[in-house]
């Protein structure tokens, strides 16, 4: 049996990769994929705990997270389409009408 | 067909090895690994063998993108029309909602009838909300391809 | 692998009565959506009226529930939703914000020819999300409420879809909002794991062994509070609480997690900015306070002071102190150099989150009797902020006109005597934001600071007062620009439409009422004790 800590370490690593990706990537779609990676790292944590405990609550949470992620993805795509129609580029450095 | 047979063979192998099916997480994946190995070998082998068997004849016609038909005039990395994305968005949302149907289908009988009644009503309610969303998308013209 | 349900599968205890406000508003949202879909283009009035009626009905249900907050029956959905004064008072704040936003946006959707029905639907669903954040007693429910709110708000920020600024605002809000949601979620996952506890499960269906013992984590706030001291993995609990704090810190726009705020607030359409600065911020506070005050309270294990619960409590209270100081200071100092009114108000909103955090720190340090008062003070502060902020943004909307063109401070030059109604009301709101006596902002600050003093946070209050002194410069600066600078370009005084006039009258009355007679409101907010730590069983 693989110990629980391995799963937790893996999901922590995945989460960190996602965080770093959101920070350094410049393309909206890539940033978006990194956010999905973060959410799925969290799902892994939930499933690992749930399986280790033998308790379904964590897995129920995963269902909810997946649905929410899909809704977010739909809205994100909508925003990306709106920007693309107005600007023809998906690089966030081009999205700079507003100062940072 | 063949792969299914192989998968079954792999499974019977592993179940024979681990008593009463309580294998650890790794040994439980043996069938998958066998399947993966077969999946790699199966397409690679003919390609490699074909290299030695087939004749090599290159001519001008042979080197064109398509041997017959019209030559491509635009680049391969063409943009898709934005309508695909709208359909993708709608698909994404409605597709993921089915995720709730599967666990529901397993437990909706519950331990007594009061739960079944509740679960059935709840699911009709849920689907009713989805239908409202669907009609909204329809009325707003999100399903039109024009 | 044996997975089992900790509860038997019989009909759950729903208790629809306690869900009444949320149910009414959800149904209204769906109805507005259908009306919008099935009528023609000229349904602007209809959906606005329907939304206002729905909000009024919800407010009625909330007030109707108010006396029962004292009773024994305060749990719905098996403890996922609770009824307590914190929920009801926050709900009332959200309803006021939503109703005023409907009124402010009426003129704006007309100017820009936007689909009003969609806007109202999104606004109502966002309000439902906020209410769930305030009423959820389970991290699942709080997360769902947060996402319902956020997803609706992302769309609202980009509602003017042909304007690049609006698009970009929406995109930035979306990326950073989902980023922070992920942190929040990771925190929830870690807390779930850290609170693992042995429970005896029901035996499975036929052929199962006799009753066996399983481990189970929890996401229920009351249950977390009970298990703080004897969870299996204390380090995970600390990590989880830290992640939760980062997530909520983003949502309430506290420094150092505030970088998204100015851009999003500037680019979003002005009525949406008004909503975002008042509503979601208050909702973030509602969830933040419920999770940290009720799930991670000061729990000393028998005899020893350095129990896990006590350490965790010290840790988050210390972090919150730093967060409050940073938020106040960064907000006020950066607001000094802004040239755009919306950006200035965005930094001002960061600073106000800092003042409210002062009250939150006091609530965290207080014992359960004083905690109610401190929480009531924070809710009062957020209500006062919502009212004066929405009023100020109503004026900004009108001056900016269609397309949000005139939002620079230069555009306000010398308009004071040409449009006295607008500039005088804006001045009142700015003075209230500053905290001049006899206004709502002053009473809010007094309450929050006196709670903090009562808990012995002298330095925090000193820093808060110094920050108020800094803020004099930019609030009064705008008033000076309006009244004592010459107009260099042509100025046509805008006609004040009826809906906006209603908003201005209501907000002016609210600012003065809350400033002069805060007693009734604050008493209503703290009339009942919030649920005690261990009310789960």
Residue pLDDT, tens place only, B70-91? 777 777 676 667 778 788 888 8
Say what the pLDDT of residue B25 is. Answer: 59
> Considering only CB atoms, which chain B residues are within 8 Å of A2?
24-26
Instruction: Kindly state whether residue B117 falls inside one of the protein's structural domains.
Output: yes
- Residue B86 sits in which domain range? 82-139
Give the helix/strand (H/E) hosting C216. Answer: strand C213-216
* Contact: C34, B132; criterion CB under 8 Å: yes
Task: Please give the tally of structural domains in chain B.
Answer: 1
pLDDT (0 to 100) of residue A90: 60
Contact C11 B117 (CB under 8 A): yes
- Other Cβ atoms less than 10 A from the Cβ of B144: the count is 9
Which chain A residues have a beta carbon less than 8 Å from that of C198?
none
Min Cα separation B5/chain C (Å)? 27
B86: chain A residues, CB-CB within 8 Å: 81
Q: What band does C485 get if pLDDT is binned at 50, 70 and 90?
A: confident
Residue range A4-50, pLDDT digits in tens: 888 999 999 999 999 999 999 888 888 989 999 999 999 999 999 98
DSSP H or E segment with residue C401? none
Contact B110 C33 (CB under 8 A): no
- Radius of gyration of chain A measured on its C-alpha atoms: 17
| pLDDT interval class at C531 (50, 70, 90) | very low
- How many Å lie between the alpha carbon of A10 and the closest alpha carbon of chain B? 16
Q: Pick from C12, C33, C37: which is nearest to B118 by CB? A: C12
User: How far does CA C297 lie from the centroid of its chain?
Assistant: 21
Size of interface A-C (CB pairs under 8 A): 144
Distance from CA of C11 to the nearest CA of B (A): 4
3-state SS assignment for residue A55:
strand
Interchain CB contact of B136 with C (< 8 Å): yes
Tell me which chain A residues have a C-beta less than 8 angstroms from the C-beta of B90. 74
Q: B89 to chain A: nearest residue by CA?
A: A74
The answer, yes or no, to whether residue C229 has pLDDT greater than 70, is yes
Q: Sort out which chain B residues have CB atoms less than 8 A from C30's CB and list them.
A: 129, 132
Higher pLDDT pick, C139 / C367: C139
Q: Which of C11, C33, C147 to mutate to test the interface with B (most CBs of B within 10 A)?
A: C11
CB burial readout C226-242, b (16+ within 10 A) else e? bbbbebbbbebbbbbbb
The C-alpha atoms of residue C157 and residue C143 are separated, in whole angstroms, by 21
CB contact under 8 A, B100 and A67: yes
pLDDT at C43 over 50: yes
Cβ partners under 8 Å of residue C414, min gap 6: C481, C482, C483, C485, C486, C487, C488, C491
Cβ distance A28 to C170 less than 8 Å, yes or no, reads no
Is B128 a domain residue? Answer: yes
Which DSSP string corresponds to B109-141? T-SSHHHHHHHHHHHHHHHHHHHHHHHHHHHTT
Q: Are C276 and C153 in contact (CB under 8 A)?
A: yes
| Residues of chain A found within 8 Å of residue C214, distances taken between Cβ atoms | 53-55
Distance in angstroms (rounded) separating the CA atoms of residues C132 and C136? 5
pLDDT in tens, chain B (146 residues): 444 544 454 444 444 444 444 445 566 788 888 999 999 999 999 999 988 888 877 777 777 777 677 777 777 676 667 778 788 888 888 888 888 888 888 887 777 788 888 888 889 999 999 999 888 888 888 888 76
pLDDT for the residue C350: 95
Mutate to test the interface with A, among C1, C153, C167, C172 (most CBs of A within 10 A): C167
Q: Minimal CA–CA distance to C313: which of C198, C234, C216, C217?
A: C234
Instruction: Of C258, C260, C259, C251, give the one whose Cα is nearest residue C280.
Output: C251
C-chain CB neighbours of A53 within 8 Å are 196, 214-217
Place of tokens 């002298």: C458
Burial class of residue C517, CB neighbours in 10 A (0-12, 13-18, 19+): exposed
- What confidence score (pLDDT) does residue C408 get? 87
Distances (CA, A) of C502 to C368, C421, C432, C512: 40, 13, 19, 15
Residue B119 falls inside a structural domain: yes
Closest Cβ–Cβ partner in B25, B86, B93 for A70: B93
CB contact, 8 Å: B94 with chain C?
no
Cβ partners under 8 Å of residue B28, min gap 6? B14
- Judge whether B42 lies within some domain: no
For C192-208, give one letter per residue: b (16+ CB within 10 A) or e: bbbbbbeeebeeeeeee
The C-alpha of A13 sits at a distance from chain B's nearest C-alpha, in angstroms, of 21
Candidate from B115, B129, B135 with C-beta closest to C9? B115
Residue at B135 is within a domain: yes
Q: How far is A55 from chain C (nearest CA, A)?
A: 5
Nearest CA among C162, C100, C167, C123 for reference residue C32: C123
Check CB contact under 8 Å for C186 and A15. yes
Q: Which of A70, A78, A81 is the mutation pick for testing B, counting most B CBs within 10 A?
A: A70
C33 chain-B contacts, CB cut-off 8 A:
132, 136
Decide which of C322 and C228 is more confident: C322
Query: Of the candidates C247, C242, C268, C269, which has an alpha carbon nearest to the alpha carbon of residue C257?
Result: C247
- Give the pLDDT confidence score for residue C32 in this predicted structure: 92
Tell me which of B139, B141, B142 to substitute to probe the interface with C (most C C-beta atoms closer than 10 Å). Answer: B139
User: What single string gives the DSSP state of each residue in B44-63?
Assistant: HHHHHHHHHHS-----HHHH
Using the beta-carbon criterion (under 8 Å), do A79 and C193 form an inter-chain contact? Answer: no
- C3 contacts on A by Cβ (under 8 Å): 50-51, 54-56, 59
Q: Which residues on A lie below 8 Å from B99 (Cβ)?
A: 63, 66-67
Q: For the segment C45-95, what is each residue's pLDDT rounded down to a tens digit?
A: 888 999 999 999 999 999 998 888 777 778 888 888 998 888 999 999 999
pLDDT in tens, C250-286: 999 998 999 899 999 999 999 999 999 999 999 999 9
Q: Which residues pair with C39 in a beta bridge?
A: none
User: Taking CB atoms and an 8 Å cutoff, what residues of chain C touch B135?
Assistant: 34, 37
What is the model's pLDDT at position C432? Answer: 94
Q: Nearest residue on chain C to A70, judged by CA atoms? A: C151
Residue A92 pLDDT grade (very low, low, confident, very high; cuts 50, 70, 90): low
Min distance C213 CA to chain A CA atoms (Å): 9
Q: How far is A40 from chain B (nearest CA, A)?
A: 15
**pLDDT of residue C428 exceeding 60:** yes
CB contact under 8 A, B115 and C10: yes
Nearest CA in chain A to B101: A63
pLDDT > 90 fraction of chain B, expressed in percent and rounded = 14
- Asked if residue B97 is part of any domain, the answer here is yes
How close is the nearest chain C Cα to the Cα of A82, in Å? 6
C275 in Cβ contact with C152 (< 8 Å): no
Chains that touch A (3 or more CB pairs under 8 A): B, C
Label residue C37 by pLDDT band (50, 70, 90).
Answer: confident
CA distance B51 to chain A (A): 39
**Residue B139 contacts C where some CB pair is shorter than 8 Å:** yes
Provide, as residue numbers in chain C, all residues whose Cβ is less than 8 Å from the Cβ of A46: 189, 192
Q: What is the mean pLDDT of chain C?
A: 87
- Give dist(CA B143, CA C480) in Å, integer: 54
pTM of the model: 0.86
Q: How confident is the model at residue C332 (pLDDT cuts 50, 70, 90)?
A: very high
What is the structure's pLDDT at C189? 93
* Mean pLDDT of the C115-137 span: 93
Q: Is residue B102 assigned to a domain?
A: yes
For range C147-160, the mean pLDDT = 94
Q: Is B59 on the interface with A (CB under 8 A)?
A: no
Instruction: Answer yes or no: is pLDDT of C41 > 80.
Output: no
**C434: exposed, middle or buried (Cβ count in 10 Å: 0-12, 13-18, 19+):** buried
Residue B22 within a domain:
no
Sign of torsion over alpha carbons C425, C429, C430, C436? positive
Q: For residues C220 and C241, give the distance between their C-alpha atoms in angstroms, rounded to a whole number.
A: 14
Per-residue pLDDT, C208: 44
- The CA distance from C464 to C366, in Å, is 19
Q: How confident is the model at residue C537 (pLDDT cuts 50, 70, 90)?
A: very low
Can you give the length of chain B in residues? 146
Chain A's closest residue to C181, CA to CA, is: A39
Q: Do residue C10 and residue B107 have CB atoms under 8 angstroms apart?
A: no
Residue B129 and residue C30 in contact, taking contact as beta carbons nearer than 8 Å: yes
Q: How far does the CA of residue B115 sit from the closest CA of chain C (Å)?
A: 4
**Model confidence pLDDT, tens digit, residues A61-82:** 999 999 999 999 889 888 888 8
Q: Please tell me if residue B57 touches chain A, with a CB cutoff of 8 Å.
A: no
Q: Say yes or no for a CB contact (<8 Å) between C10 and B129.
A: no
- pLDDT-derived band at C2, boundaries 50, 70, 90: very low
- CA C359, CA C171: separation in Å to the nearest integer? 32
């Amino acid at each position: 049996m693989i110990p629980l800590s391995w799963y937790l370490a893996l999901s922590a690593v995945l989460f960190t990769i996602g965080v770093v990706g959101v920070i350094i990537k410049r393309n909206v779609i890539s940033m978006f994929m990194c956010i999905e990676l973060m959410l799925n790292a969290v799902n892994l944590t939930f499933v690992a705990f749930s399986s280790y405990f033998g308790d379904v609550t964590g897995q129920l949470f995963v269902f909810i997270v997946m649905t929410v992620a899909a809704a977010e993805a739909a809205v994100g795509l909508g925003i990306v389409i709106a920007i693309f129609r107005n600007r023809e580029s998906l690089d966030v450095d081009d999205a700079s009408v507003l100062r940072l | 067909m063949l792969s299914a047979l192989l998968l079954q063979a792999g499974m019977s192998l592993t179940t024979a090895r681990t008593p009463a099916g309580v294998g650890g997480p790794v040994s439980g994946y043996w069938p998958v690994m066998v399947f993966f190995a077969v999946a790699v070998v199966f397409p690679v082998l003919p390609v490699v063998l074909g290299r030695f068997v087939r004749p090599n004849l290159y001519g001008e016609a042979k080197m064109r993108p398509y041997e017959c038909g019209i030559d491509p005039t635009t680049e391969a990395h063409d943009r898709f029309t934005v309508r695909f994305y709208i359909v993708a968005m709608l698909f994404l949302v409605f597709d993921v909602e089915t995720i709730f149907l599967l666990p529901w289908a397993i437990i909706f009988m519950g331990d007594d009838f009061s739960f079944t009644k509740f679960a059935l009503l709840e699911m009709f309610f849920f689907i009713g909300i989805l239908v409202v969303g669907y009609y909204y998308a329809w009325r707003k013209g999100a399903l039109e391809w024009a | 692998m044996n997975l089992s349900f900790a509860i038997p599968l019989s009909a759950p205890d729903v208790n629809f009565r306690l869900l009444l406000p949320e149910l009414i508003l959800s149904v209204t949202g769906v109805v507005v959506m259908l009306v919008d879909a099935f009528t023609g283009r000229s349904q602007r009035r209809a959906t606005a009226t329907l939304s206002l009626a729905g909000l009024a009905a919800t407010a009625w249900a909330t007030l109707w529930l108010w006396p029962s907050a004292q009773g024994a029956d305060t749990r719905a959905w098996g403890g996922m939703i609770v009824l307590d004064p914190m929920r009801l008072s926050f709900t009332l704040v959200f309803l006021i914000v939503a109703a005023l936003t409907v009124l402010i946006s009426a003129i704006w959707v007309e100017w820009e020819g936007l689909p009003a029905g969609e806007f109202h639907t999104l606004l109502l669903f966002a309000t439902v999300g906020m209410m769930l954040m305030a009423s959820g007693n389970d991290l699942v429910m709080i997360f769902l409420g947060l996402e319902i709110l956020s997803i609706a708000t992302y769309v609202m920020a980009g509602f003017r879809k042909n304007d690049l600024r609006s698009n970009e605002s929406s995109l930035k809000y979306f990326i950073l909002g989902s980023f922070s949601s992920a942190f929040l979620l990771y925190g929830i996952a870690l807390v779930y794991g850290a609170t693992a506890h042995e429970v005896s499960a029901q035996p499975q269906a036929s052929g199962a062994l006799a009753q066996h013992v399983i481990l189970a984590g929890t996401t229920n706030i009351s249950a977390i509070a009970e298990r703080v001291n004897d969870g299996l993995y204390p380090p995970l609990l600390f990590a989880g609480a830290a992640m939760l704090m980062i997530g909520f810190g983003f949502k309430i726009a506290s420094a150092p997690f505030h970088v998204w705020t100015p851009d999003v607030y500037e680019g979003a359409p002005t009525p949406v900015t008004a909503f975002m600065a008042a509503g979601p911020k208050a909702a973030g506070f509602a969830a933040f306070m419920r999770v940290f005050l009720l799930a991670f309270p000061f729990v000393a294990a028998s005899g020893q002071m350095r129990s896990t619960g006590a350490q965790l409590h010290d840790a988050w209270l210390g972090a919150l102190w730093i967060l409050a100081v940073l938020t106040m200071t960064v907000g006020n100092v950066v607001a000094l150099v802004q040239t755009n009114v919306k950006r200035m108000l965005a930094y001002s909103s960061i600073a106000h989150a800092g003042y409210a955090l002062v009250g939150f720190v006091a609530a965290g340090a207080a014992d359960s009797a004083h905690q109610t008062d401190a929480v009531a003070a924070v809710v009062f502060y957020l209500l006062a902020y919502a009212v004066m902020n929405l009023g100020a943004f109503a004026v900004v909307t009108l001056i900016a006109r269609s397309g949000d063109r005139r939002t620079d401070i230069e555009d306000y030059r010398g308009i004071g005597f040409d449009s006295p109604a607008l500039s005088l009301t804006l001045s009142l709101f700015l003075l209230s934001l500053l905290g001049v006596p006899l206004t709502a902002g002053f009473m809010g600050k007094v309450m929050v600071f006196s709670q903090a003093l009562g808990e012995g946070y002298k330095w925090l209050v000193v820093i808060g007062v110094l920050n108020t002194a800094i803020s004099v410069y930019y609030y009064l600066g705008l008033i000076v620009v309006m009244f004592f600078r010459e107009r260099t370009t042509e100025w046509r005084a805008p006609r004040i439409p009826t809906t906006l006039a209603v908003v201005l009258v209501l907000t002016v009355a609210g600012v003065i009422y809350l400033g002069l007679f805060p007693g009734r409101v604050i008493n209503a907010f703290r009339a009942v004790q919030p649920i005690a730590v261990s009310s789960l069983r």
